Structure 1
Amino acid sequence: MYGRRKHSSSSDIRTPDRFSYPPSPSSYSTFSSEKPNSGRDRVKGAVRSVAGVFSACFSPPVEDKDTHHHSSSAYGGSDTFSSTSGASDSTNGRKRGPARGIYKVQNDPTHMKEPGSVKFTMAEIHQATKNFSPALKVGQGGFGTVYKGQLQDGTLVAVKRAKKSIYDKNLGGEFQSEIQALSMVEHLNLVKCYGYLQHGEERIIVVEYVPNGTLREHLDCIKGNVLSLASRLDIAIDIAHAITYLHTYTDHPIIHRDIKSSNILLNEKLRAKVADFGFARLAADAESGHTHVSTQVKGTAGYLDPEYLRTYQLTEKSDVYSYGILLVELVTGRRPIEAKRELEERVTAKWALKKFTDGLAISVLDPKVEKSDSNGLVVEKILELALQCVSSHRRNRPTMRKCAEVLWNIRKEDKDLLV
């Protein structure tokens, strides 16, 4: 499923228990074989322990004055922030070479290139986008504007043109981060990078064009039909595979740092691809004994790990927290923060997980999806996993690899029940 990476025996964070697909049913007995009402006493205590931390992760650190707000998704996103106070932006790790996934793509000259290896010229970019034609504009985000383009060999691409803010150090850093991260990865569920251009004030990234919009647009039904619960589960599994690859199977683990629904792109078959690596960071080097990266806080309000927000210590478990919020978003169809709702429902994860522990999981299912008994069972299992992901302490969160196992097993056991 993934590529390979040499593991260090000293790191239990990035070396989860070995598994293979399909996993054995016993691997997930706590998720797949419980009766509908079992496990609630066990998780009620857990939900109480995490409820108090939700408010902290929906606002920037105390030092607001140093916080930079913007919308980071190039395909239509939500408010993000980066705090420049409280910690230095340093990584205790080594540089690495490109990681290669096992997935192959179309056999044309551009696709055969190494990820991110092509250095485009402005003439090629102008030709691909018809001089940045407004008719080809497909998105707007904190990084800049995204245009649909076509390369000379016929490859459809998304051309991300940065804002011409040469003195904006944040945007410059995001450009370099995205180039670095995208050039190191290749996976079916990650947006592929073809190359870039950096000339004068122009900073441009050319990536794979994914034609069917963002996950958030589909949850809002902007892109057509309602996503079934089965489709939502498939999307959750795709995303889990992508993040697992970043954390475990690259030459040096990568923390995405901005997992959210507007950074998940869907193709025509509703296969998910994780996009926007502007906030990505290399994780701590396990071989040197480091457990975290000390770095300024970056991410999106509503998805931010409260432990990272409090300590400035970044680990792969920060992505796990964001993923737990995303699981709740997939089930409910709601955004992480719903400011216009009644007070008890404004923080979606806190509201939904409270309903789950009270035995009312089916009540939080997106009203556009059928509320059947079978769907109720699936919702309970997904929310139980989400509850673990958003634990207030990172040591209590599962690895992304474990998340993929659990969701894979839910789909396997409930395939005939999902509607």
Structure 2
Amino acid sequence: MSRSGSLSSAGGTDTTGQTYTQSSDFSSDRSSDALRNKKTSFEVISGNVRFTWDEILRATSWFAPDLTVGEGGSSIVYRGKLDNGKDVAVKRAKKNAKDEHLTNESFRTEIGTLQQISHINLVGFYGYLLFEDEKIIVLEWVTNGNLRQHLDYKPLIHRDIKSSNILLTSTLHGKIADFGLAKLASTDAGDTVVQTMAKGTHGYVDPEYFKTNQVTNKSDVYSYGVVLLEIVTGKRPTDRIGDRFMVEWAMTEFRKGNVRSTIDPKLTIDSAITVAAERIFDLAYRCLNSDRRKRPSMDECGKILWNIRKAYNDLARNAN
């Protein structure tokens, strides 16, 4: 595959002699309209494989979150499938105005390097797109994951995540216990489905698991969402508030914007606690989505909670 080509900036003529125009839409929204508005006659110009913006969108199903296979500080990698059926990895740079210069520089450096090298132990380079606020590299799809995944233990589907199965050390580090119902999950990035009789603790069990007898990686995520609400409200999932159980009551109040009224009164309810509680409720709402495909991964939950913790500490510090 030829690796000749040059980097282009938005607007002008590419190395194929084809003209392209610059759209005014800089939205990073994943909506179909926002992404489609970026469409021009500009194509990926490096390598023997040539892609239009439409092909990139189709390949990644409009950058669908469930096709995400990796994320670093400056980019997200998606699994994609080209129109000819070929699997590829699509690396999309994050949009960060503060680091725009660094992002442009690192992108150009990576492209320049990839164009000049070829080796059996290096991921194959197919092409790139540098247009408006989009910086995309199309690479060979490597089927067997990364070395870290093979060194790690296989992931587990616990099937009985609940507050009484999360033990706390003297420094309040959580440790999950009771693996009597656990099932080994696949090591791939997809949603592992295991057919088994529904088991678990009432109030924590994923309703979809209950209906279908299919437990997945996302079933534990649902249970974790219940635990998050339990932490904030101080109530058990089987507690009734009026004519509703805790989860339904808490989510109803969240949708009304009444999170503050649901916070455990044993907590000191100040602005920092309120903001943290609202963000935790938002995460719990996502975890409890009836469509398991739309629930976050546990890895994503962890990252969100770290950000909530940092924001809480900053607010609490500024208040003192």
Instruction: Work out the number of aligned pairs and report it.
Output: 186
Q: Name 1:358's counterpart in structure 2.
A: 256
Aligned match for 1:317, one of 218, 233, 255: 218
- Secondary structure of 1:298's counterpart equals coil
Counterparts in 2 of 1:336 and 1:26: CA distance versus 1, 3 Å: farther
Structure 2 counterpart of 1:266, from 143, 168, 172: 168
Structure 1 position 250, deviation (Å): 3.7
Match of 2:172, SS state, is coil
Q: CA deviation at 1:406?
A: 0.7
Tell whether 2:82 aligns with 1:18: no
Q: Tell me what 1:397 maps to.
A: 295
Match of 2:311 in 1: 413
CA distance in 1, matches of 2:237, 2:191: 32
2:156 to 254, 269, 292: 254
Deviations 1:312-346 (A, max 9, x none): 1111100000000000001001101114x4213xx
Task: Indicate conservation of the 8 Å contact 2:191/2:216, yes or no.
Answer: no
Cα distance between partner residues in 1 of 2:158 and 2:151: 14
Q: Is the CA contact (8 Å cut-off) linking 2:167 and 2:176 kept in structure 1?
A: yes
The yes-or-no answer on 1:373 pairing with 2:271 is: yes
**Structure 2 runs not aligned, ≥5 long:** 1-64, 74-93, 97-147
Instruction: Supply the RMSD in Å over aligned alpha carbons.
Output: 3.4
- Correspondence list, 1:79-98, <5 A: none
| 1:328 aligned partner | 229
Alignment partners' CA distance in 2, 1:273 and 1:392:
27
Aligned counterpart, 1:342: 242
CA contact (8 A) 1:257 1:318 kept: yes
* Distance in structure 1 (CA, Å) of the matches to 2:69 and 2:202: 29
Structure 1 414/16 Cα, relative in aligned 2: closer, same or farther at 3 Å? farther
Instruction: Verify the 8 A CA contact 2:192 2:217 in the aligned structure 1.
Output: no
1:293 corresponds in structure 2 to 194
Give the structure, 1 or 2, with the largest relative contact order (CA under 8 Å, sep 6 or more): 1
1:184 maps to what in 2?
A: none
Over 3 Å counting, the alpha-carbon distance change for 1:18 and 1:26 in structure 2 is same
- Could you say which structure has the larger radius of gyration? 2
Q: What's the TM-score once normalised by structure 1's chain length?
A: 0.40
1:33-64 per-position Cα deviation (integer Å, ceiling 9, x unaligned):
xxxxxxxxxxxxxxxxxxxxxxxxxxxxxxxx
Contact 2:229 2:281 in 1 (8 A): yes
Runs of 4+ in 1 over 4 A off after TM superposition: 12-16, 284-287
Alignment of 1:6-405 (within 5 A): 16-19=69-72, 250-284=152-186, 286=188, 291-339=192-240, 341-344=241-244, 347-405=245-303
